[in-house]
A = this chain, B = another copy of it.
Amino acid sequence: MGKSMIRAGIIGATGYAGGELVRLLMGHRDVEIKWYGSRSYIDKKYYEVYQNFFQIVDDVCMDDNMEELAEQVDVIFTATPQGLCASLVSDEILSKVKIVDLSADFRIKDVSVYEKWYGIEHKSPQYLQEAVYGLCEINREGIKKARLTANPGCYTTCSILTAYPLVKEGLIDADTLIIDAKSGTSGAGRGAKTANLYCEVNENIKAYGVAGHRHTPEIEEQLGYAAGRPLTLNFTPHLVPMNRGILVTEYASLRPCADAGAKLPEYEQIKAVYDQYYGKEKFIRVLDQGVCPETKWVEGSNYVDINFVIDHRTGRIIMMGALDNLVKGAAGQAVQNMNLMFGLPESEGLDLVPMFP
């Protein structure tokens, strides 16, 4: 007898992350999508919203009904604005389905931090402790046992993974960490805002949310766990005229090697640490010396490309990371989390070769 398919439901299927989730799950041999949730397009054919799915998806969009969904599917993806998942989840629902939440609702353990940065009341803080932060390469074992996974943000995934081994090993002074991040425009979502019009974004670059972007506390919390103590850092996002991709450039002071006459570590030492953490990770590629990550080299795939340069003049290390914000930064990582939660091979449905050019 054949293996039964995992039935999936998506709440928020017509946002960019939702659309990418559909694209990825179409190529996943163990999953079938049973519910295309989209409050804005109820009863409309899904392919009429995204014509790329013409003759591929014939379903119509459904309302956001998590109770009904829990009866019909095995896993729910919530690719919705903050607050929705927290307002719908319940013991009964969690007893029936697993949830991968792509919003920020369960990423931050401290409810007061969440409420301060997001400016909304958290409707179900009782699940914060249970929820597992779904950064697969860091929390793999926890995710395997989770009912509720908090899928990390796009900036966050890239920012954390790029610095994680060096913070964890104490090779950098974590208080000096500065993250300068650059994102394609799909990260801003599909809402019809003047600021996201073609003519406003094209031929332009700007910083935004300076010293106040919501992904900051998420990065600080996770890197704080690595450092073993609370951290504050600077995170500055920029909007880049391209559809997809996040590049982070991270700066930190290297700690002198205690065992080497207080000299700075050399390339080989740092490289060895990255390899130790990521050498066996399929989706993290530590590049060859001298090669800078480019977002185009990971586009459409679940890879994160990472590299670094040591500046002996200033005693700092410059770390760089690149990913596709809709794949490893959203839908791809969500599928990776689902694979872990259901005991499937972690890369199932994610063997995507980056598309160039």
On A, residues with C-beta under 8 Å from B are 16, 19, 23, 26-27, 50-56, 178, 180, 182, 184-186, 190, 192-194, 196-208, 210-211, 232-234, 236, 238, 240-245, 247, 249, 251, 285, 287-288, 291-301, 305, 309-311, 313-314, 316, 318, 320, 322, 351, 353-357
Cβ A232 vs Cβ B192 within 8 A: no
How many copies altogether?
A: 4
Q: Which chain B residues lie closer than 8 Å to A201 at the CB level?
A: 198
A234 with B318: CB separation less than 8 A: yes
Between A16, A233, A247, A297, the greatest number of chain B beta carbons within 10 A of the residue's beta carbon is seen for: A297
Q: Are A297 and B236 in contact (CB under 8 A)?
A: no
Residue in A19, A198, A245 whose Cβ sees the most chain B Cβ within 10 Å: A198
Given A316-B234, A357-B186, A211-B55 contact (CB < 8 Å): no
Quick check: A299 and B205 within 8 Å, CB to CB?
no
Q: Are A320 and B353 in contact (CB under 8 A)?
A: no
Report chain B residues within 8 Å CB of A236: 249, 318
Select from chain B the residue with minimum beta-carbon distance to A56: B353
A185 CB contacts on chain B under 8 angstroms? 197-199, 202
- Is there contact, CB below 8 Å, between A205 and B245? yes
The distance from the CB of A356 to the nearest CB of chain B, in whole angstroms, is 5
A293 to B294 alpha-carbon distance, docked (Å): 25
